[in-house]
Amino acid sequence: MKSISEVTDTIEQYQEARILITAVEIRLFEVLGKEPLSLDALSQNLSIPQRSLKHLLDVLVFLDMVRYAENNGRERYIATDIAIQCFGPEGTIRNWALHQGMLYKLWTDLDKALKSGRPLLKHTHDIDVEAYAKGLADAYISSSPKVHEVVDFGGNLKILDAGGGSGIYSILAALGNPSLRAIVYDREEMVIQARKLIEQHSIGGQVSTLVGDLLKDDWPGEQDVVLISNVIHGKSPSEAQILLSKAFVALRPGGRIVLNEWVPDNLRSRCFDLNMLVCTLRGRVFAPEELTNLAVNAGFGNIITKRLNETHAILVGYKPWL
């Protein structure tokens, strides 16, 4: 049983989160990641008054994101190694933090979503798509293990990455297998981001893109694998069934569907489930047995599930041979 002090600590956690996100939004770590600066110089660079900036810096010192140093009477603020690694000019989760900042603003109206039963976004992608795509790619790059490390993607494979977003799943799998060929299939706004990341990794010979509507359009056929990663949770059960049925048609006989999805057995996943209420009309986290039933209804057999990490599980199902 939690104590009252533990409950108050939970309530106050939003403050540290908002402090870090704000520091990223105002580019503080990008600037300090280049060189140590005095309060005056940092204030001028960021166009933020010294008094308010000093308040922020004092907290960031306690969070081990900034260090204060004085040399020969000259004061300087220095970003710590972890701050630069996470949020500096090449920060590994800087875009993820910016995406969380957007969600943070939405969550301040969580009560409205609860009372209305409807999302706070008119459309799921009514957000900063670039920060969203890059942020999720950053989060996946920093996670372990990867999907292709748990599921065998070796050999001469044709993969359809349905709803592949930034393309990061296919890109990392292709970097480990020169015989793999993948198509990132998604809406135009997401494909634009995928093309940038494909070019950045110089993997265009292996990973291509295709614009389409997953629910309405036909999918490219004769695939060895259809990967649907972190897509189903944004759909209703009937829409999820449509996606799995389309995956079945797109596969060659003996081909595999690979689903990577949240599992609702931990706090983070339950919070994410609530996030689906805020951001989508009918999305939610599906239980593994629900995904299995959807796969069976679509025609898949020999279905197995395996845990990817604390929050995700993978389902693999096979299209029968004729």
* Rounded CA separation 117/102 (Å): 20
Q: Delimit the domains of the chain by residue range.
A: 4-89, 146-318
Q: Which helix (H) or strand (E) holds 86?
A: helix 81-87
- Residue 276 is predicted with a pLDDT of 94
| Token reading at 264 | 């609702």
How many residues are there in the chain?
Answer: 322
Q: Do domains 4-89 and 146-318 have the same CATH topology?
A: no
pTM, 2 dp: 0.92
- Residue 127 is predicted with a pLDDT of 78
Cβ contact 227:174 at 8 Å = no
- Residue 124 is predicted with a pLDDT of 67
- Residue 287 is predicted with a pLDDT of 96
> Which SS3 state, helix, strand or coil, does residue 258 take?
strand
- Residue 23 is predicted with a pLDDT of 98
> Which SS3 state, helix, strand or coil, does residue 225 take?
strand
- Contacts for 169-174: CB closer than 8 Å, 24+ residues apart: 169/140, 169/227, 169/229, 169/260, 170/207, 170/227, 171/197, 171/198, 171/201, 171/203, 171/207, 172/140, 172/141, 172/146, 172/148, 173/146, 173/147, 173/148, 174/203, 174/206, 174/207
Q: Which helix (H) or strand (E) holds 278?
A: helix 267-279
* Rounded CA separation 193/167 (Å): 8
Fold of 4-89: Arc Repressor Mutant, subunit A (1.10.10)
Cis peptide before 145 (omega within 30 of 0): yes
Q: What is the full per-residue pLDDT of the chain (322 aa) written as tens digits?
A: 889 999 999 999 999 999 999 999 999 999 998 889 999 999 999 999 999 999 999 999 999 999 998 877 678 999 999 999 999 988 999 999 999 999 999 999 999 999 999 999 877 667 788 888 999 999 999 999 999 999 999 999 999 999 999 999 999 999 999 999 999 999 999 999 999 999 999 999 999 999 999 999 999 999 999 999 999 999 999 999 999 999 999 999 999 999 999 999 999 999 999 999 999 999 999 999 999 999 999 999 999 999 999 999 999 999 999 7
Contacts of 99 (CB under 8 A, 6+ apart): 127, 128, 131, 132, 134, 135, 136
CATH entry, 146-318, from 1.10.1740.10, 3.40.50.10800, 3.40.50.150, 3.50.30.40: 3.40.50.150
